[in-house]
Amino acid sequence: MTDTSANRPGSATSLITPDARTKRRNRAEARFKVYGITAIGIGLLFLVVLLGSITVNGLGAFQQTFVNVPVYLDPAKLDKRGNRNIEEMKKVSTFGYNPLIQQGLLDKAAELGIETPLKKRKQMKAMLSASAAAKVRDFVLANPETLGQTVEFKLLAASRVDGYLKGRVQRKDVARDKNIDAEHLDLTDSLVAAGVVAKTFNLSFITGADASESRAEQAGIGVAMLGSFFMMLVVLVLSLPIGVAASIYLEEFAPKNRWTDLIEVNISNLAAVPSIVFGILGLAVFIQVMHLPQSAPLVGGLVLTLMTLPTIIISTRASLKSVPPSIRDAALGVGASKMQSVFHHVLPLAMPGILTGTIIGLAQALGETAPLLLIGMVGYIATNVPDGIAAGFLDPNSAMPAQIYEWAKRADPAYYERAWGGIIILLVFLLAMNIIAILLRRRFERRW
């Protein structure tokens, strides 16, 4: 600044009228600030777009289209001998029920006076989910006395009809689609107007099981949720005690020697190892060497335990460290042993911090997918709810993120909606866990 005046002798500079250079510097200052604001804006924009696209695409999965069909349960077809013997009635497969349901829908349309070029019974197939017949069959086998009556069923609509109501399937796409025709969509419009076809809340998406590739309308995340639950149990039961014990040793007892250094270096390195490498470890050690069952939540839990341990150890050590030494000294002063001072005084005071760290570690483990791919939790169609606790740990199952990945891989766009919906459920769980962690910290954390 001194040289500006030196370059221009005679032109006195004033603090009130800024010279060119000051202006330039002020502009640079403003520009720099704008860069920062822009960067934060872009970051927040990404967040909004991400959350927005999850909500917009995923909320549809919580609604499902149902068709109310009165079905005449024809005894001549379903119980040919007429003696109401359950064993004999079980011989009629779902193929025997399909015509009755389709006829029921056709009759309903005729009764409402809907004009449709679809006159054949078979043409109604495109309207209903392939699972409808199984539902009616289960009902009949459970209530054989209803044979001969006309019962009103609330059946799942086919995935294309569902997509049409949600705007996923457009009329222009239908021309190339062999599963459904424009006439079906006309019929759907009329049935919606008549209240026969309607979208309602879809509980079975949250509680149900996965379905085969062609029945997107039936798929649910419930069984995978159970798989995740059993995995988290394993992680909690193993990683909390091991993590706390390891941190107590390292923080309170470990002498400064090579072995301690080795452990410390190992823990900080493990925290940075890519998660897929833990999957390789699980595959090689737990499945190939120890022959534990593939796709089992137990193995998934073990792998995720090894992955979460560093997180838990690091946060536990931080909260042990924050307990002031005066507590330890006071305990030692009244004659407690070192072990007693730690377990009776330091550990209870550090507990809120430890639990917070554990919950955050569990939340991380809940969302982790890559290691689960390697131990066979993908490609498996989780259709059965595990019976019993041992089966829950040992029987093949999926997990929520693995199920979402599985849906994202399937070709039918109806499954994309399921995947987004699954993400909403997963994020709700993560959000709940993080809120619990924050509340725990707020409520119990002590400042010394």
- Selected from 5, 44, 84, 110, the binder of other proteins by CB under 8 A is 44
User: Which of 66, 97, 205, 405: binder of other proteins (CB under 8 A)?
Assistant: 405
Closest Cα partner for 209 from 438, 26, 328, 381? 381
Burial (CB < 10 A; 0-12, 13-18, 19+), residue 387, is exposed
Q: How far is the CB of 411 from other proteins (least distance, A)?
A: 13
One of 53, 93, 150, 326 touching other proteins (CB under 8 A): 53
Residue 344 Cβ, how far from other proteins at the closest point, in Å?
A: 12
Query: What is the C-alpha to C-alpha distance for residues 136 and 93, in angstroms, rounded to an integer?
Result: 11
Please give the torsion angle defined by the CA atoms of residues 377, 380, 383 and 388, in that order, rounded to the nearest 10 degrees.
Answer: -40
Q: Which is nearer to other proteins, 190 or 275 (CB)?
A: 275
In the region spanning residues 311 to 330, those forming contacts with other proteins, defined by CB under 8 A, are: 313
Q: For residues 250 and 231, give the distance between their C-alpha atoms in angstroms, rounded to a whole number.
A: 27
Burial class (CB in 10 A: 0-12, 13-18, 19+), 218: buried
From 89-97, 130-138, 326-334, 372-380, span contacting other proteins (CB under 8 A): 372-380
Give the shortest CB-202-to-other proteins separation in angstroms.
20
- Beta-ladder partners of 71: 151
CB closer to other proteins, 130 vs 347: 347
379 binds other proteins (CB under 8 A): yes
Residue type, 275: S
Q: State how far the Cα of 230 lies from the Cα of 241, in Å rounded to an integer.
A: 17
Max Cα-Cα span within the chain: 120
Q: Which of 313, 311, 411, 302 is nearest to 361 (CA)?
A: 311
Name residues contacting other proteins, limited to 269-288 (CB under 8 A). 269-270, 272-278, 280-281, 283-285, 288
Helix axes 347-367, 400-409, angle to 10 degrees: 20
Window 160-219: residues binding other proteins (CB under 8 A): none
Q: Which of 234, 248, 346, 355 binds other proteins (CB under 8 A)?
A: 248
Q: Which is nearer to other proteins, 104 or 243 (CB)?
A: 243
Length of the chain: 448
Q: b/e string for 114-126 if b means 16 or more Cβ within 10 A?
A: beeebeebebbbb
Residue with Cβ nearer other proteins (66 or 393): 393
Tokens of 291: 């022959």
Mark 325-364 with x for binding to other proteins (rule: CB under 8 A) and - for no binding: ------------xxx-----------------------x-
Q: Which is nearer to other proteins, 31 or 120 (CB)?
A: 31
Q: How near is the Cβ of 59 to other proteins at its closest, in Å? A: 15
Of 74-82, 131-139, 192-200, 260-268, the segment contacting other proteins by CB under 8 A is 260-268
**Choice between 32 and 448, CB closer to other proteins:** 32
Report d(CA 74, CA 60) in Å as an integer.
Answer: 36
Taking the complex as a whole, how short is the minimal distance between the CB of residue 305 and other proteins, in angstroms?
A: 9
The 3-state DSSP composition of the chain as helix, strand, coil percent (nearest 5) reads 70, 5, 25
CB of 242 to other proteins, least distance (A): 5
Residue of 404, 406, 434, 409 lying closest to 420 (CA atoms): 404
Stretch that binds other proteins, among 79-87, 167-175, 344-352, 417-425 (CB under 8 A): 417-425
What CA–CA distance (Å, rounded) separates 263 from 250? 9
Site for other proteins in 13-32 (CB under 8 A): 25-26, 28-29, 31-32
x/- mask, other proteins, residues 427-446, rule CB under 8 A, reads x--x---x------------
Q: Is 55 in the site for other proteins (CB under 8 A)?
A: no
Given 140, 187, 223, 426, the residue binding other proteins (CB under 8 A): 426
Judge whether 366 and 426 are in contact, CB under 8 Å.
Answer: yes
